[in-house]
Amino acid sequence: MSAQFWSVFMASICLVAVLASLFIGSTWIELSNVLAGLIGRSSDPVNTIIQDIRLPRALLAALVGAGLGASGAALQGFTRNPLAAPGLLGFSACAALGAVLALYFNFPALITPAAIGFALVGALAMTMFSRRKSGASGLVLAGIGIGALATAITGLTMNLAPNPWALSELVYWLMGSLKNADGVDVLIAGPLTLMGCILLFCSGPALRGLGLGEDTAQSLGISVRQTQWLIVLGSALCIGSGVAVAGAIGFVGLFVPHILRFLTKADEAWLIPLSALGGASFLVVIDTLIRATSGPGTPLYLGIVTSLIGVPFFLWLAWRQS
């Protein structure tokens, strides 16, 4: 089946997931009520639940998931390394550090720019390292190093934090959650993620050629440097804006492209939009399940759940590699 078919298929799944998430929750809402709630024609509680809680949360889950999936697919294509993903390569942790620093120094308005800026530094360090041809293990080791450093500084910042409230923020950014999602977050993350995804999509045709190795790709007129910049900027925008609103959510960028590559046989270029749609659908489904199953007072963290799902997959991949 063609990549076009899979794109339409994944887009439909994504749409169904977002719609379904509007019905499902601690209270089930019927179709007619959901539709009325969307345009503000239902009862006040339903209007609030749909417009202020479920819709922003579903949209935000879709945005964050799309950014993670697209970045993962592009990074795997560029480094020609199946273990490359924004979480493993440490720049989700870098973005989280940026967000936490902005908060610590009391500039909440700078959370998003700081997260994007730090993600950019992480992404740049990674791609430069991968171009030194240090191999898969070197790349992952460097990523673990960068991620551990960022996490340690995040921990230090919060260690010095003045109050327990600040400490709970650390948990939020390290574990990832959409529980505080609102319309403003969607307006912030939406355009930035969209811009990031467009940059990543643009790198697609070059990634096809890069599959033949850097020298051959260059001899075909492909600019490796330009491709690298597209991917660095694109994934920094996606990951930075995602982390700024939802914290670090691991492993989605790793396994979504893998599963889709296996299922769809899509090439490097098609895999980026497919992974964006797949990541979006996955995160919407998981977050909806979390929302529906969490009792009051004990919300599960989204990032923990995705890691619990992703880690076995990662171990299997590492096992198969060796």
Partner 1 sequence: MIDLKNISVRYGSKTVVDAVTATVNAGQFIAMVGPNGSGKSSLLKAVAGLLPHEGSTSLPSGRKDRAKQLSYLAQNCTAPHNRNVEDIIALGRTPFLGPLSKLSEADQRAIESAAMACETRQYFGREFGTLSGGEQMRVHLSRALATDTPVILADEPTTALDPYYQLSLMNILRASADAGKSLIVALHDLKLAERYADRIWIMQAGRLVADEPADTALSEGILRDIFRVTPSGDVIG
In the complex, least distance from residue 262 CB atom to partner 1, rounded to whole angstroms? 9
- Residues of this chain that bind partner 1 (CB under 8 A): 202, 205, 208-209, 211-213, 215-216, 218-223, 261, 265, 267-268
Block residue for tokens 């999936």: 69
Measured from the CB atom, the residue of 86 and 209 that comes closer to partner 1 is 209
H-assigned helices in 105-212: 111-131, 135-159, 164-175, 183-202, 204-210
Alpha-carbon distances of 132 from 52, 125, 126, 127, 128, rounded to whole Å = 48, 11, 10, 9, 7
Report the residue number, 94 or 217, with the smaller CB distance to partner 1. 217
At closest approach, how far in Å is the CB of 218 from partner 1? 5
State which residue, 7 or 47, has the beta carbon closest to partner 1. 7
Let me know: does 175 contact 220? Beta carbons within 8 Å: no
Q: Least CB distance from residue 205 to partner 1, whole Å? A: 5
What's the min distance (Å) between Cβ of 24 and partner 1?
A: 37
Pick the closer one to partner 1 by CB: 180 or 226. Answer: 226
* Residue 151 to residue 122: CA distance in whole angstroms: 12
50 contact partners, CB below 8 Å, separation of at least 6 = 22, 29, 34, 37, 38, 42
DSSP-assigned letters across all residues of 265-298 = ---HHHHHHHHHHHHHHHHHHHHHHHHHHPPTT-
| Closer by beta carbon to partner 1, 196 or else 247 | 196
CA dihedral 284, 289, 291, 296 (to 10 degrees): -170
| 266: CB partners within 8 A, 6+ apart | 3, 6, 260, 274
Q: Which is nearer to partner 1, 199 or 249 (CB)?
A: 199
Give me the least distance between CB of 236 and partner 1, in Å please. Answer: 22
Decide whether 261 or 291 has the Cβ nearer to partner 1: 261
Nearer to partner 1, 168 or 219 (CB): 219
Taking only Cα atoms into account, the Rg of the chain, rounded to an integer number of angstroms, comes to 19
Compute the least distance from the CB of residue 212 to partner 1, in Å: 6
Q: How far is the CB of 86 from partner 1 (least distance, A)?
A: 21
Contacts (Cβ under 8 Å, ≥6 apart) of 187: none
Question: Rounded to an integer, what distance in angstroms lies between the CA atom of residue 21 and that of residue 284?
Answer: 7
Tell me the closest approach of the beta carbon of residue 219 to partner 1, in angstroms: 4
* Alpha carbons 214 and 155: distance in angstroms, whole number: 39
